[in-house]
Amino acid sequence: MRNFADILMDAIDAKGSRLVVGLDPRIEYIPNDLREPSLKAAGHFCGAAAEMILNFNRIVIDIVSPYVPAVKVQVAFYEAFGSPGYRAYEDTCRYAAEKGLIVIGDVKRSDIGSTAHAYARAHLGVTELEDKVVHHGRAHAMTVTPYFGWEGIEPFLYTAVEFNKGLFVMVRSSNATAHEVQGTQDDPDPLFLRVARKVDEWGRDNIGDRGYSAVGAVVGATYPEDIPRLRELMPRALFLLPGYGAQGANPKDLAGAFDADGHGAVVAASRRIIQAHRTPDNQMWEHAIEQAVQEANADLKAHLPALKT
């Protein structure tokens, strides 16, 4: 069975890259040549913000799509502009998919039962009105948080399996106070290791042709010391590793997330790529972004286990 993990791994092979570009647009860093026309046409309203975000993302997607297998779209920065922003989120996901990119909706949703199922339909599945499909979730995978236990995962997984899509369950977040709730390896039975065991269990029935599950894990790249143990507990989970770049993680510390073929994980970077043009150097902003994605790819290639295809 060819599952979401196979689809993502095939895209990694095709592009020769394990970099995921985060589309977390800060409105203040949208280049002026996109900002001015939207403000002129729509004024200082949500619609103008949404339009400039979408126009920016389209160009970023055009630039990065030859170089990377996937994008991670952080919905919070779109929700901040209300329903026009939410529309820009959906349009961004659709555009990226049309350009051949795998789309990870970084939405960190969580709930139980029919509510969780509604979120799953929103992002991965379809919603019907009297037996007619009126909404298509545009992401290929979504991030979820694990606080509710199995009943908070099962509705997402059900929809992911039905539409051949994937989940990334938050296991170890990249922030400094993660341990307050998730614990540390020094604790007798830390939550993040318990969740890791659950992720392995939850994904067991959905292993693809290439040996990885449709249920992956978010593992902060800022905690490299936890990676070997997490890999041991979740041998079949693809890891989504945030924290590379702006949050300071070093790619050479991430080797333990990868298998002998150089597979098993993707590394996410957002600010490093989509804010590359903030460094003043007289470059066109499009060129700064293209150069940043090439440099990040080269940096990962130099420090991660080689990708064997």
Q: Just list the catalytic residues.
A: 108
CB 48 within 8 A of CB 35: no
Whole-angstrom distance, CA of residue 127 vs CA of residue 55: 27
For its own copies, the closer of residues 175 and 185 by Cβ is 175
Q: Which of 14, 76, 284, 306 binds its own copies (CB under 8 A)?
A: 76
Site for its own copies in 148-167 (CB under 8 A): 148-152
* Position 86 contacts its own copies (CB under 8 A): yes
Output 43 or 280, the one with its CB closest to its own copies.
43
Q: Which tokens is 287 given?
A: 């060129």
Choice between 130 and 281, CB closer to its own copies:
130
Stretch that binds its own copies, among 4-12, 13-21, 84-92, 95-103 (CB under 8 A): 84-92
- Taking CB under 8 A as the rule, does residue 12 contact its own copies? no
Residues 89-118 that bind its own copies (CB under 8 A): 90, 108-116, 118
Of the listed pieces 60-68, 126-134, 208-216, 225-233, which binds its own copies according to CB under 8 A?
A: 126-134
Site string for its own copies, 196-235 (x = CB under 8 A): --x-------------------------------------
Q: State the Cα–Cα distance between residues 87 and 110, nearest whole angstrom.
A: 21
Any contact of residue 178 with its own copies (CB under 8 A)?
yes
User: Pick from 79, 205, 225, 232: which binds its own copies (CB under 8 A)?
Assistant: 79
Q: What's the CA gap between 267 and 22, in Å, rounded? A: 10
Question: Is 87 an interacting residue with respect to its own copies (CB under 8 A)?
Answer: yes
Q: Which is nearer to its own copies, 174 or 213 (CB)?
A: 174
Residues that bind its own copies (CB under 8 A): 24, 26-27, 39, 44-46, 48-49, 74, 76-77, 79-87, 90, 108-116, 118-119, 121-123, 127, 129-130, 132, 134-135, 145-152, 170, 173-182, 191, 194-195, 198
